[in-house]
Amino acid sequence: MGYDILKPDNKNIDKYWDIAIGLQKVDDLEPSEYLYELKKKNIENKLSNEEIENLLYKKYENESAEEKKKRQKECDIVTNRMVEILSSKASFRLIPEVFALYHGILFKNVFDQLQEKYVGRFRDYNISKKEPILNGDTVIYSDYREIRTTLDYDMKTENEIDYNNLDKHRIIDNISSFTSRIWQVHPFCEGNTRTTAIFIEKHLNRIGFEINNDMFLQHSKYFRNALVRANYYDKNTKSDGTFLKKFFINLLYGGNYELKNEELILHSKFN
């Protein structure tokens, strides 16, 4: 791929595959059976992630251009790249440049030509996205002119927190709030939730947390919709971060909250 990601952490490689596959569901993507075959060989240390990427490009270069094939290609390639980032032993820095770097690693040569120029770069226009749980309404994302300033502030503030001196409740509050804030910035044209999830996981690993990989494998869609609810408000609705906190309690402390996507639907928008 041309990026220096150093030697992988093979001890947890199967866990990283589960997380990466689960995260594709935030965009309703499902890996091909071929990727599952390559995954097995990677876990057995028979194929590197770079070798897998080369094999995937060979598989898809002669495929038809229909939308289903394009989406599956995106899913397979991005999943493999996620594993490469998660398993990297390279040092992690909580700065906007690394956030943008991860986006570039994940999505280089994946999107169409129009979007390709924005891969690894912050957007230069404002966006909205129709959310099914809001009956088509959108979260208000950061103005593109404020992206860098906002991320700088949020990450500098997060870097100053000493998690060793916090109790469990404050840890959940801080991690949930930080994740919610950088997601709401939505600095990229596409792929924001997947990039945010990988970035947050690297941050959590850096400060000493063990991740329950089943959470992203089974509840990545809940994770995204919880971020929507944590950032959506209007004159009749307050933002609600309780759903995101439940996710992180299960993720970090083995909590047993039942996470149902139906609970995230804002029913007042459907009346």
- For 84, residues 6+ apart whose C-beta sits below 8 A from its C-beta are 1, 5, 8, 49, 50, 105
Of 37, 25, 103, nearest to 71 (Cα)? 25
**What pLDDT, on the 0 to 100 scale, is given for residue 67?**
57
- Mean pLDDT, rounded, for 230-251: 95
Each residue's pLDDT tens digit, 242-269: 999 999 999 999 999 999 999 999 999 8
- Is residue 139 within 8 A of residue 130, CB to CB? The reply is no
What does the block give as tokens for 126?
């404002």
- Compute CA distances 140 → 4, 136, 179, 248, whole Å: 35, 13, 16, 23
3-state secondary structure 205-241: HHCCCCCCHHHHHHHHHHHHHHHHHHHCCECCECCCC
Domain ranges of the chain: 1-90, 91-271
Confidence of residue 2 (pLDDT cuts 50, 70, 90): very low
Average pLDDT over residues 104-128: 91
Q: List pLDDT tens digits, range 188-217.
A: 999 999 999 999 999 999 999 988 777 888
Q: At residue 51, does pLDDT exceed 90? A: yes
Contact between 183 and 227 under an 8 Å Cβ cutoff? The reply is yes
- Statement: residue 86 has pLDDT above 50: yes
Q: What is the CATH number of domain 91-271?
A: 1.10.3290.10
- Mean pLDDT of the region 47-68: 82
Residue 3: which pLDDT band, with cuts at 50, 70 and 90?
A: very low
Under a CB-based contact definition with an 8 Å cutoff, are residues 56 and 77 in contact?
A: yes
